[in-house]
Amino acid sequence: MILVNYLVAVALLCTGLYAVLTRRNMIKMVMGLSLMEAATYLFMISLAYRAGSTAPVLLDPPAGQTAQDLVHGNVADPVLQNFCLTAVVIGVAVTAVFLSVVVRIAQHYRTLDSGRVREMRG
């Protein structure tokens, strides 16, 4: 049972969301989004887990298990782990763009306060 994984994922998600909704410092908002991202990864990896399963690296059956066990599907789901790998790569790119935009905003407006960077409204 990996209930604790799900609980931690929810806690991380809520912490990140709290930062995004209430912090006006843009760097903190980016950090909040990164926390939420981490929560989604943890959630996905936990979904992939099966009781007593091994990692989906199928070169040799691990000690105490036969190839037959693996054929019967006693491995963690590799597809969801692949999801995470893809999303990690995308997440890195997005965070890089994010931070470069924040740096440029800081240079132009001389502030990191999202409440003061809102010329466009209404």
Partner 1 sequence: MTEPALASLLPLPVALPLCGAVAAPLLARCSRRLPVIFSLIALAGSAAVLLAAAPAVFRGTVIAHYLGHWTPVNGHVLGIALAADPFGLAFGLTVALVGAVLLLYSLSELGGLGSRELGGLACLFQLLLAALIGAALTADLFDLFVWFEVAALASYGLTGFFLERPLALEAAFKILVLTTLASFAVFVGAGLLYAGHGALNFAQLHNSLAGHAGTADTVALGLLVAGFATKAGLVPFHGWLADAHTAAPGPVSALFSGLMVNLGIVAIARLAFDVFGTASTPVLGLLMTLGLISALLGALMALAQDDLKRLLAYDTVSQIGIVAVGLATSRAPGVAGAAYHLVNHALFKSLLFLCAGAIVHRTGATKLSQMGGMARSMPVIAGAFILGALSIAGIPPLNGYVSLSLIHQDLLASHQAVPYALMLAAQVITVAALGRAAWLAFFRRPAQPVRPRERLRPGMLAGLAGLGGGCVVFGTAGPAVLRTLMAPAASGLLHASRYASGVLDGRARLGLTGVPFDYLSPGELISVAATVAVAAVLARGYLRSREPRLISWLRAIHTGSANDYAGYAMAGTLAVIAVLSLA
Exposure pattern of 51-81 as b/e (b: 16+ CB <10 Å)? eebbeeeeeebeeeeeeebbeeeebbbeebb
Q: What's the token pair of residue 35?
A: 């926390």
Q: Which of 7, 10, 24, 62 binds partner 1 (CB under 8 A)?
A: 24
DSSP state for residue 60 in the 8-state scheme:
S
Of 87-116, binders to partner 1 (CB under 8 A) are 87, 90, 93-94, 97-98, 101-102, 104-105, 108-109, 114-115
Q: Which of 57, 86, 88, 92 binds partner 1 (CB under 8 A)?
A: 86
What phi and psi, each to the nearest 5 degrees, are found at residue 112?
Answer: -110, 5
**26 residue type, one letter:** M
Q: Under the rule (CB under 8 A), what is the footprint of partner 1? A: 17, 20-24, 26, 29, 33, 36-37, 40, 43-44, 47-48, 77, 79-80, 83, 86-87, 90, 93-94, 97-98, 101-102, 104-105, 108-109, 114-115, 117-122
